[in-house]
Every structure is written in C-alpha cells, then in structure tokens.
C-alpha cells in the first residue's frame, strides 16, 4: 500500500537572489511561489517524493519529473534545484528507482521510476493536492537518471506515463554498468525538445552516453549537445565535474547516508554553474516547450544560451560550448569516451 507522509511546508528561497544568480529570467530569482509542500512516499524501491508549490497555492501546475543519479534516493541531494523549479511554478515528482546501492538490477530502474510517476500523478488528482497539468511535462535526469529519462522518453507509452515535451539530460551515463541503456534513441518523440549537458571534467561517466543519445536521436531535430567547461579568475574555480548538478538542501533530508549522500555533503555547492547552466537551461527548455518563449536561451548556440555569468570584476565566465545536429565541429570534438 502507498504510505504518504506530509513532511512539511518549507520556504523556497531567500528574499534576494543568491550571490551570482540573476534577478529575473531563466535561472533567475523571480519566483511565483514562496513555499513548497514536501510529501514522502519514497520508502519502496518504486516510490516517490512529491513537491508542490504553495504561498500562493495554485489549483493546478505543470509537472517536472526529476530522475536522480545512482544512489541519490535522498531528495536533499538536488534540494535547491527542486526548490527553484517549484518556485517557478512546477510540481516536481522525484521517483525512487533503487532499494539500495545493490538492488534492484539496473535493467529494472525505468520500470520502477515509471511506477513512481504513475502513482504520484494519481495522488495529485486527489484531496487537496495541486492538480497536475498533463501537457508540457518535463523530464530532468542527472547521471543514471539521465539514462532512465532517455529510456522512458522512448517507451513512455508502454510505461503509461505522460509523453515528454522537454528533456534535460545532465551528465547522463552509467559508468561501468549497462542496464537501462538502449542501442538507439531514434524512438524519442519527434516533437521533443532535448538538451544534453556534459561536463568537461566528468570522469565518473564521461560523455559517451550523452553522445550516443545526441547522435542516434535522429528523428528528434530539436536537440543540442552542450559542454560545460572549467574556468578560473585566479581566486576561485568554476568546476566542470560530475558533481556540478548537486545543490543539497537539508529541508528535504530523509537521513539516508550512503556513499552518494555523503559525497554530496562534501562536494555539493551552489554557484554560477547551477544558475546559468542547469537552472537557466532547464527553465528555458520548459518555457519554450510550453509557450514558445526563451527558445534563444534553450537552443541554437546563441550568446544567451552560452552565457555563464560574470566574475566579480565584470569579466565573463567561460561560456558553454554548444553543438548542433549534423555539425562537423561536434563530430570532431566529441571523440573522448
């Protein structure tokens, strides 16, 4: 039986932007809601956590499915990103697909995640919950979560989950494991808006899988492959490791302290990589897929898409590198596994 626990109502963010964060626009601090209702139905390997906008509470809201990385079945791991998405007006479903670090086998991950998505959507249709808007659903996935998102994007109909309108794969990959990978992603929806973001210094999964999706999703023309690169001003580093999407928030801590959670508490940080890479691109991607706005921020190798903010002295941080479909430049640069 589904056991749902209301864990609390939490403030979304401070009253002013975080240091380095834009005040408005994609990735910015112009929030529509100022609190998040946190629900826990994540005890099972196919459970979920649910985050609903409040203050003010809407009658309905669009949905983002957030698929965690391997072992990250403690939603605190991406807590500040989740708060940001909710503040922008989304219900966030955070499916669990693992019982622990050893079980189940990775080939079961997509089915477990899909079960959590279905159960969460059914729950949202009941009681005092914010009703889900079933059009324009976004799927975000980090690391193994990106692999699961891509698989669900191909097989959404058989899993009986909403068709993805937007998909952000953040440093997707499986490392030494192979479960849940597909040979080809040509089955992704033709109208899907797809961004694949990898880190220059991601030595956990590299960018072999992201490259596979980018090259084989041949029926999904609206796709970009984006590389985030390291930079420094001599005093502080902007890093480009596998850990960049982590931005923990103890409001959502479920007390799991496995290897992943402990690692996140050591290396997780909030900086321009969050604001101008993952948050900015994610916001723009969702808005473009739903309303047609911010297409120049989400796609096209434009200055707005590449922009990564500025150092305190006003000098620009090293911009993102963007590769478009059938780009000779992309083929020549995407050679490292």
pLDDT at 156: 98
CA distances to 12, 61, 184 from 178, in Å: 37, 35, 14
Question: Which of the residues in the chain have pLDDT under 50?
Answer: 328-337
Cα distances (angstroms) measured from residue 243 to each of 46, 225, 268, 303: 25, 19, 7, 25
Distance CA 285, CA 148 (A): 19
d(CA 318, CA 295): 22
The pLDDT assigned to 56 comes to: 96
Q: Where do the domains of the chain lie, and which CATH numbers do they carry?
A: 5-333 (3.40.50.1820)
275 secondary structure, DSSP code: I
Report whether the peptide linkage leading into residue 104 is cis, meaning its omega lies within 30 degrees of zero: yes
User: What pLDDT is stored for residue 328 in this prediction?
Assistant: 39
pLDDT of the residue at 16 = 78
3 state DSSP class of 67: strand
Confidence at residue 144, expressed as pLDDT on a 0 to 100 scale: 98
Q: What letter would DSSP give residue 166?
A: E
Q: What is each CA distance from 289 to 31, 89, 173, 279, in whole angstroms?
A: 19, 15, 24, 15
Which tens digits make up the pLDDT trace of 195-204?
999 999 999 9
What pLDDT does 1 receive? 72
What letters, b where the CB count within 10 A reaches 16 and e where it falls short, cover 62-90?
bbbbbbbbbbbbbbbbbbbbbbbbbbbeb
């Amino acid at each position: 039986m589904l056991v749902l626990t209301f864990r609390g109502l939490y403030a979304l963010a401070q009253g002013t932007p975080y240091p380095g964060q834009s005040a408005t626009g994609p990735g910015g601090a112009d929030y529509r809601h100022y609190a998040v209702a946190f629900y826990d139905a994540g005890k099972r390997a196919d459970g979920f956590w649910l985050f609903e906008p409040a203050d003010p509470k809407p009658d309905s809201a669009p949905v983002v499915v957030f698929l965690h990385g391997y072992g990250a079945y403690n939603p605190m791991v991406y807590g500040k990103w989740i708060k940001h998405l909710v503040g922008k007006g989304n219900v966030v479903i955070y499916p669990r697909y693992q019982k622990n670090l050893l079980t189940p086998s990775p080939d079961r991950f997509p089915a477990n995640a899909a079960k959590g998505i279905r159960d969460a959507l059914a729950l949202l249709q009941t009681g005092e919950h914010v009703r889900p808007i079933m059009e324009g659903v976004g799927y975000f996935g980090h690391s193994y979560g990106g692999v699961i998102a891509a698989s669900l994007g191909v097989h959404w109909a058989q899993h009986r989950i909403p068709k993805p309108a937007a998909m952000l794969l953040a440093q997707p990959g499986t490392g030494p494991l192979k479960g849940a990978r597909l040979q080809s992603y040509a089955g992704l929806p033709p109208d899907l808006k797809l961004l694949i973001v990898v880190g220059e210094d991601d030595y956990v999964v590299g960018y072999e899988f992201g490259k596979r999706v980018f090259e084989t999703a041949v029926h999904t023309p609206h796709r970009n492959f984006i590389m985030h690169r390291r930079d420094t001003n001599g005093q502080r580093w902007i890093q480009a490791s596998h850990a960049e999407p982590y931005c923990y928030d103890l409001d959502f801590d479920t007390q799991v302290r496995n290897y992943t959670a402990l690692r996140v508490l050591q290396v997780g940080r909030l900086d321009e990589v969050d604001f101008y890479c993952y948050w900015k691109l994610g916001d723009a991607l969702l808005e473009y897929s739903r309303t047609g706005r911010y297409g120049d921020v989400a796609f096209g190798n434009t200055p707005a898409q590449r922009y990564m903010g500025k150092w305190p002295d006003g000098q620009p941080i090293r911009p993102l590198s963007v590769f478009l479909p059938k780009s000779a430049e992309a083929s020549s640069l995407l050679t490292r596994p």
